[in-house]
C-alpha cells in the first residue's frame, strides 16, 4: 500500500532512503487571507490540504507503490483580498520561492513535485506556473501546478464550479452561481474540516455576488465556460478587484453545512485524482498542465503592469 509521509517528521537519513522514482513531493500553496466575517484566514490552506489528502488516498488505491512526501504549506501568495488580515507577496517573490524549492528538491533527486492550492488569484497561480516551468527547464524537474491543471480539467479556465457541483443533493444551482470566495462551497468545506473555527455568523450571510451587483447596475455578467479572451480576462480582473475592495465574500454562506462540505470534497478529489492520473500515466506532461491564463502570463507576472493597472483603477489596498 502507498504511503503519505510528512517531510518535517522524518530524519535526513529517512528522506534519503526514499526511492526517487516512486516518490512525489507535494506542497500546498495558498494565502493567509480574509474570507468574509466568518471563515479563518487559514481557509485556502486548510482546503488545499484537505483536498490533497482525499486525492492522494484515491490515487494510492490505483497506484499502491506510490509514496507522497508532504512539505509544510507555503503561504507566500498574491491576489489576496485587500483587507486587514490578508498577507500579500510580490509575484516575483512567489516565483523565486517555488523555483528555489524546486531547485533544492531536484538537487536531492526528487524531480516529481506537485504544488497544490485552493486560491484562484491569477497573479498567484500563474507565478507558480512560471516557477514550475523554470524548474523543469533548468533543473530537469517534473514540477506541476495542480491548481492550474484543475482549472483546465474542471471548467476550462473559469473559477465557477457550478457545473461541477450542481448535481449534489442539498444544494441548488442558484446557490452556486457566483460562489467565488467564502460562499457555500468554502464555508461547507470548512465546516467539515475545521468547524470549530467557523464563526456562526455565516448562517446570517445571504447571497452576495459580483454578477448580482452587475445586474443591479445594468451591466453584462462575467464570461464563464470556454477559454476567456484577453478582453474578458481583463474585464473580469478589473471588476473583481473593485468588487473585493468593499466585499469580503462572494456566494451564499448561509446555505452551507458540513454534510455538503464532505460531498464537495468527494467530488473535487475524484476529479483531481482523474486529472493527476493523466500526469502519472504520461498522457499529460508538465508542459501540458498549465492554466488557460498561461499564454497571457505577462499580464499577471509583471509587477509594473499590475501596479499601473491598479493605479488606473484607483484600487485601494489596506495590506500593501
| Chain segment 27-40, per-residue pLDDT in tens | 999 999 999 999 99
> For position 226, what pLDDT does the model report?
52
Is the pLDDT confidence value at 225 over 80? no
% of the chain with per-residue pLDDT over 70: 97
> For position 2, what pLDDT does the model report?
77
Q: What angle do CA 100, 284, 48 make, to 5 degrees?
A: 55
Is the pLDDT confidence value at 253 over 90? yes
Which of 38-42, 92-96, 227-231 bottoms out in mean pLDDT, i.e. has the lowest?
Answer: 227-231
> For position 135, what pLDDT does the model report?
98
Q: E strands along 125-280, which residues?
A: 142-145
The CATH number of 3-313 is which of 3.40.30.10, 3.40.50.10310, 1.20.120.1200, 3.30.1330.60? 3.40.50.10310
Which residues, listed in sequence order, are joined to residue 3 by a DSSP beta bridge? 67
Place of cell 497506484: 63
- What is the tens place of the pLDDT at every residue in 4-29? 999 999 999 999 999 999 999 999 99
CB-based contact 203:209 (threshold 8 Å): no
Cα–Cα distance for residue pair 205/216, rounded to 1 Å: 19
> For position 223, what pLDDT does the model report?
72
Band (224; pLDDT cuts 50, 70, 90): low
Cα–Cα distance for residue pair 242/114, rounded to 1 Å: 32
| CA distances for 243 relative to 41, 78, 83, 120, 166, angstroms | 19, 17, 12, 15, 25
What are the strands of the beta sheet with 67-70, ordered from one edge? Answer: 3-6, 67-70, 23-28, 112-116, 142-145
- What is the tens place of the pLDDT at every residue in 187-202? 999 999 999 999 999 9
| CA distances for 319 relative to 79, 89, 309, 314, angstroms | 11, 10, 17, 15
Taking residue 276's Cβ as centre, other Cβ atoms within 10 Å add up to 25
Q: Which whole number is the average pLDDT over 74-98?
A: 98
Band (1; pLDDT cuts 50, 70, 90): low
% of the chain with per-residue pLDDT over 90: 86
For residue 50, report the phi and psi dihedrals to the nearest 5 degrees.
-65, -45
Q: Name the grid cell of 91.
A: 509575484
Band (233; pLDDT cuts 50, 70, 90): confident
Amino acid at each position: 500500500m502507498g504511503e503519505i509521509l510528512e517531510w518535517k517528521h522524518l530524519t535526513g537519513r529517512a528522506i534519503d532512503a526514499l526511492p526517487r522514482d516512486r516518490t512525489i513531493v507535494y506542497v500546498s500553496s495558498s494565502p493567509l487571507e480574509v474570507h468574509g466575517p466568518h471563515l479563518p484566514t487559514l481557509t485556502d490552506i486548510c482546503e488545499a490540504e484537505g483536498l490533497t489528502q482525499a486525492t492522494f488516498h484515491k490515487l494510492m488505491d490505483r497506484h499502491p507503490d506510490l509514496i507522497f512526501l508532504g512539505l509544510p504549506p507555503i503561504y507566500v501568495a498574491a491576489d489576496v483580498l485587500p483587507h486587514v488580515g490578508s498577507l500579500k507577496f510580490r509575484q516575483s517573490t512567489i516565483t523565486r520561492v517555488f523555483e528555489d524549492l524546486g531547485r533544492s528538491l531536484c538537487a536531492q533527486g526528487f524531480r516529481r513535485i506537485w504544488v497544490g492550492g485552493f486560491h484562484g488569484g491569477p497573479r498567484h497561480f500563474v507565478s507558480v506556473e512560471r516557477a514550475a516551468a523554470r524548474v523543469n527547464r533548468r533543473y530537469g524537474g517534473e514540477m506541476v501546478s495542480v491548481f492550474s491543471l484543475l482549472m483546465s480539467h474542471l471548467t476550462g479556465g473559469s473559477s465557477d464550479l457550478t457545473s461541477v457541483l450542481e448535481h449534489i443533493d442539498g444544494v441548488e444551482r442558484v446557490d452556486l452561481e457566483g460562489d467565488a470566495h467564502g460562499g457555500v462551497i468554502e464555508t461547507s468545506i470548512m465546516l467539515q474540516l475545521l468547524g470549530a473555527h467557523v464563526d456562526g455568523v455565516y448562517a446570517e450571510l445571504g447571497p452576495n455576488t459580483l454578477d448580482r451587483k452587475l445586474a443591479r447596475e445594468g451591466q453584462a455578467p462575467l464570461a464563464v465556460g470556454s477559454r476567456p479572451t484577453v478582453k474578458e480576462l481583463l474585464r473580469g480582473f478589473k471588476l473583481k478587484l473593485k468588487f473585493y475592495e468593499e466585499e469580503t465574500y462572494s456566494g451564499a454562506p448561509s446555505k452551507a453545512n458540513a454534510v455538503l462540505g464532505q460531498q464537495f470534497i468527494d467530488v473535487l478529489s475524484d476529479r483531481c485524482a482523474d486529472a493527476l492520473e493523466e500526469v502519472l500515466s504520461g498522457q499529460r506532461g508538465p508542459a501540458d498542465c498549465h492554466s488557460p491564463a498561461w499564454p497571457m502570463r505577462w499580464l499577471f507576472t509583471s509587477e509594473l503592469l499590475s501596479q499601473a493597472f491598479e493605479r488606473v483603477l484607483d484600487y485601494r489596498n489596506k495590506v500593501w
